[in-house]
Chains A and B, each alone.
Chain A
């Protein structure tokens, strides 16, 4: 606990609050701020929120409990955790798949962090409230300037490397315990400012007005499903990695499951309250994504009293949200490669961050490529990683075993037998459905072809790498948990 010494050589979170903020910091990203409010408003408002809440409880919370518990049970990063479950051999390569997806994800997410950094800097310079400021020209000019986009991408990866090199407790934990509360505070102040503007009620009605008919539309549930799974980062290796640093007597299901899923979603709710009252009060059309953050909102700040200060709150908060996610996404690779190689932490951090920086240059240069990669990995790469992690828990280790040995051990809430079929059947089925749905929806498109390349090549690459590497070590061990727990 907080006052006791670490019992192993492996790093551990210094405090319970540090672990919780690491989970929230990892999961709260751009999607909570620039996607959730608009998607909710466009899909029946309250009806969407209800569907989203149901899916959080049915899928995301049980899934996060499983992933954190696997990390805690094995006490290892992604590849080590897979080896503990499937034994030595090529199947450990599915852990490599998770790693490859994480590196790919971070390669195009780092340039997005760079965008938020650029706007945070300009908010501090009060550029957006200066006379003659043109939001569209400013945004287009930024994207067309590779010195700026690649330069800031370099600054972002350099900053992440500097923090990660300090370690889990002195680096990651020290940042997230301040960054996450600062993000919440900035959105709360922005909400108060927005709600006191004339016409703000339309913004509230946009997100929280209830159109029950939307609950009967498949599109509402698919959007809610995507939000519930992608927003919580389920199965990307992040929760597994963060969970692997838990201390001996730490709880998994209450903090790693319930608090993480609802806490990170709460920030999306807060973002809706912070953004749309202001947007509607000024009379700008609601939007999502980069257009919302970097054009629509920038247009409204000059129109409201104290708009320059509100812009500072929003963009600094937005930067913190994306930056803490970037830290933990990168930590997934750092943790497992540090364990699997002879390199020390600093060398591993430099290697991983250097590789991500290099792979991220094309996305920093071209926003179109970034959008393409985002779609391909969001639709197929990330569900593949989730399938790999939840698959080995559900079908190799067995959910009942994990629940009895890790989830309910030192737990703050008791998890019953209902959890086992959710992890074994429901979550994998949903992941297969998502991949199939997007393949059907995008059939024949370049995005679908890219997705199929990922689905085929990543497992083959992972399997081949681990077959070769594990084959070198003749100390082969039998798999001791075959066939799940049926």
Chain B
């Protein structure tokens, strides 16, 4: 059957399967893999880091730029929670280096 299809149709079919099923499958495998990792970490310790290095840096930058924002206290609490967890636990979900953790200061 496939031999009777033109190359452009086959190419589009392949692209579509890759773009939809391929990416959705990748997302499913990745998120379920991350779930397993989180379960492992929580079996080992009570708390877990909540931000990646990039996301935590963005959060800090925003807090420093908006110190009087109505949500600044909540943001500070989330930032400090992540810093505390990173300093007091040895298993981390995100890819934190020891140097990066040592450089973190609570706000």
Contact = CB atoms under 8 A, between A and B. Distances in A.
Interface string B44-80: 0000101110110011001000100111001100100
Nearest to B35: A16
Given A259-B27, A411-B52, A1 B5 contact: no
A254 B25 CA distance: 12
Given A249-B38, A401-B71, A480-B71, A269 B32 contact: no
Interface string A389-430: 000000000001100110011111010000000000000000
A20 interface: yes
B89 interface: no
Given A49-B16, A205-B5, A209-B12, A408 B55 contact: yes
Contact of A208 (B16, B31, B48, B51): B16
Contact of A16 (B16, B32, B93): B32
Given A46-B12, A205-B9, A262 B4 contact: no
A288 to B, nearest CB: 19
B71 A408 contact: no
Interface in A35-70: 45-46, 49, 53
A132 interface: no
A200 B4 CA distance: 10
B23 A405 contact: no
A283 interface: no
A410 B28 CA distance: 16
B107 interface: no
A427 B32 CA distance: 29
Contacts of B102: none
A412 B30 contact: yes
Interface size class of B (residues with CB under 8 A): 35 or more
Contacts of A200: 1
A266 interface: yes
B39 interface: yes
A437 interface: no
A208 B32 contact: no
Given A249-B50, A262-B19, A262-B20, 18 more contacts: A1-B38, A1-B39, A4-B42, A53-B19, A197-B1, A205-B5, A208-B16, A209-B6, A254-B31, A266-B20, A401-B71, A404-B58, A410-B50, A411-B55, A412-B31, A414-B54, A414-B55, A481-B70
Contacts, number: 130
A379 interface: no
B8 interface: yes
B101 interface: no
Nearest to B43: A3
A53 B15 CA distance: 11
A115 to B, nearest CB: 27
A208 B75 contact: no
Nearest to A211: B8
A209 B24 contact: no
15 contacts: A1-B42, A3-B39, A4-B42, A49-B16, A201-B2, A201-B5, A210-B9, A255-B27, A262-B27, A263-B28, A265-B20, A265-B24, A404-B58, A408-B55, A414-B52
Contact of B74 (A2, A270, A405, A414): A405
The 8 residue pairs across chains A and B that have the minimum distance between CB atoms: A46-B12, A259-B27, A262-B24, A408-B55, A16-B35, A266-B20, A263-B24, A480-B70
A404 B79 CA distance: 10
A409 B31 contact: no
A300 B8 CA distance: 28
Nearest to A483: B70
Contacts of B35: 1-2, 15-16
B70 A400 contact: no
Given A254-B27, A262-B27, A412 B70 contact: no
B73 to A, nearest CB: 10
Contacts of A405: 71, 74-75, 78
Nearest to A409: B50
Contacts of A17: 32
Nearest to A406: B78
A482 interface: yes
A204 interface: yes
Given A3-B39, A258-B27, A195 B5 contact: no
A196 interface: yes
B52 A201 contact: no
B34 interface: yes
A251 interface: yes
A400 to B, nearest CB: 7
A4 B104 CA distance: 29
A366 to B, nearest CB: 37
A269 B17 contact: yes
Nearest to A408: B55
B21 interface: yes
Interface string A240-271: 00000000010100110011001101100110
Contact of B70 (A53, A205, A266, A482): A482
B75 A269 contact: no
